[in-house]
Chains A and B, each alone.
Chain A
Amino acid sequence: MIRIDQLTKYYGNVCAVDGISFEMRKGEILGLLGPNGAGKTTTLRILTGYLKPTSGNIFVKEYNIHDHALEIRKLIGYLPEAAPIYPDMIVYDYLRFVADLRGLSGEAVGRRIRELAGLCGISEVMHKTIHELSKGYKQRVGLAHAMMSDPEILVLDEPTSGLDPNQIVEIRDIIREIGREKTVILSTHILSEAEATCDRIVIIHRGAIAADGTTDALKRDGGAEYAVHVSLALNDFEPVREAFSRVPGVAETRLVRAENGALDLSLTCREARDLRPEIYRVIRDHDWDLLEFGRQDRTLETIFRQLTREN
């Protein structure tokens, strides 16, 4: 459906996107994840035709962005970050304007606007001017705008940024609802959001792809690594560290917190098999009083941190 090929974009001497390539299947919800300034927005802006790439190409169906900009724009519904809609317009007038530009006509316009008002939950603000709306409603109007012509592809740039937790859940529900039939590509720097809404995640860092895969696959590979959390009723860290470091497979023993005579430890394990029995044996042999014990698998968060850590 979409193929991004060696996409590169320079702003003057600054490289925003550096040779990104990936493909998207029809019906996929893809999350573009990365820290601020990683090149997410630039990539989406090139895909939607707002910016031109310095080099590289994007293919959407049989079209490419250099020769068929208009055809591609017809296939894509786009919601830019913060939904910068004309502030002086009335919601209904704005949606009508978009419907006209998108080539809807006659009765279809009214019907489509009513449908979208229902889907996005904006029926009660149809006659307000846009600058009166809260961020959440503005974002919904933006979504309705993006979906006006029932496009095959939806591009959403940070669709939940700046919303309160309730609004975030509502917008996510709408996106999932849309994602059943459409190809959706959304950018975010919120990991839980990507995990909750996307089938697949592409992590970009400094303009290049750092990881690409389903959330499960990302957690699985990148080296078998997990943490074991241990809490002991002890005061001295040194002997504990020494004892654990003798367990084969334990790469690092880190002191998380020491207070009220208790040590919170995090043991980094680089081994596919479960090291908990061996760690427990060490604790038992030393006759330490165990307060807490548990395994933490890699979360998307730890992967993200590892991949996007500066240097």
Chain B
Amino acid sequence: MRNARIIFARELKGFLVSPIAYIVISIFLIVTGWFFFSTFFLYNQAELRTFFGLLPVTFSFIVPAVTMRLFSEEFNAGSYELLKTQPVRSLDVVLGKFMAAAVLVAIMLVPTLSYGIFISFIGDLDWGPWVGGYIGALLLGAAFSAVGLFASSLTRNQIIALITGMAICFFLTLIDKMLFFLPEGAVGVFQYLGADYHFQNIARGILDSRDILYFLSVSFVMLYGTHLVLEERT
């Protein structure tokens, strides 16, 4: 765990000194801010539903942009050879990089807290969905970080990592919107696979263990997959 922490610290610092992180954070804030406020005054409701409603889609392209460099850049620059030949287990490398990405996503969410504060001045904000929404956003961000990390471990090309990561995230987000194409028996399964479905449950302010378990399982499967990919790279 000590090694995972060391790698986490290096990666997070690497994010914070690179311009890409700030560009991605800016884009995220502009997109969410615009979608949120462009409809906010139409509904005349003191709630963050439009913000949280779009978050899985926004995260589907923002989070893979954050994570795309984590392994691809190292493979491409060759620095992975230096990392791999240190006395560090690949599991520590995976966990360290994953935590760095998840924390960056959390940092990205901090400025959006102001939306809630802003609304609470002009109306009566329901704090339950607000808290639930942010817990859900953290879980969603972590799960998508794991997806993006996995995509990054597959290739030395960051663009391919980005597109692969986005494709998996979009699939998870949109799968429960496609249910009418599916035979009835499969509906339950695919609904359970849908990230948006679970996220919206939590964002309503209902913390169900099934929804939390979903995000933890996605993270676990993706991190384990990353670990296997790294072990197979010989």
> Could you tell me which A residues sit within 8 Å of B by CB distance?
45, 48-52, 70-71, 73-74, 76, 78, 80, 82, 84-89, 93, 97-98, 100-103, 145
CB-CB nearest in chain B for A48: B85
> Could you tell me which B residues sit within 8 Å of A by CB distance?
3, 6-7, 10, 13-14, 17-18, 77-79, 81-82, 84-89, 234
Complex contacts, A145 vs chain B, CB 8 Å: 82
Say whether, besides A51-B234, A52-B234, A84 and B86 are in contact (CB < 8 Å): no
CB-CB nearest in chain A for B3: A101
Q: Is the CB of B14 within 8 A of A98?
A: no
Which of A93, A98, A100, A145 has the most chain B CB atoms inside 10 A of its CB? Answer: A100
Give the A-B pair count, Cβ closer than 8 A: 55
Q: Is the CB of A100 within 8 A of B6?
A: yes
In Å, the complex CA distance between A76 and B78 comes to 19
In Å, the complex CA distance between A78 and B81 comes to 10
* Interface residue from B7, B10, B79, B87 paired with A84 (Cβ < 8 Å): B79
In Å, the complex CA distance between A84 and B78 comes to 5
* Interface residue from A87, A97, A102 paired with B87 (Cβ < 8 Å): A102
In Å, the complex CA distance between A76 and B85 comes to 9
* Interface residue from B17, B78, B79, B89 paired with A70 (Cβ < 8 Å): B89
Query: Could you list 29 examples of A-B contacts with CB < 8 Å?
Result: A49-B84, A49-B85, A50-B81, A50-B85, A70-B87, A70-B89, A76-B85, A78-B82, A80-B82, A82-B78, A84-B77, A84-B78, A84-B82, A85-B79, A85-B82, A86-B14, A86-B77, A86-B79, A89-B10, A93-B13, A97-B6, A97-B10, A98-B86, A101-B6, A101-B86, A101-B87, A101-B88, A102-B86, A102-B87
Q: Is the CB of A74 within 8 A of B87?
A: yes
Q: Is the CB of B85 within 8 A of A84?
A: no
Q: Is the CB of A73 within 8 A of B78?
A: no
In Å, the complex CA distance between A262 and B141 comes to 82
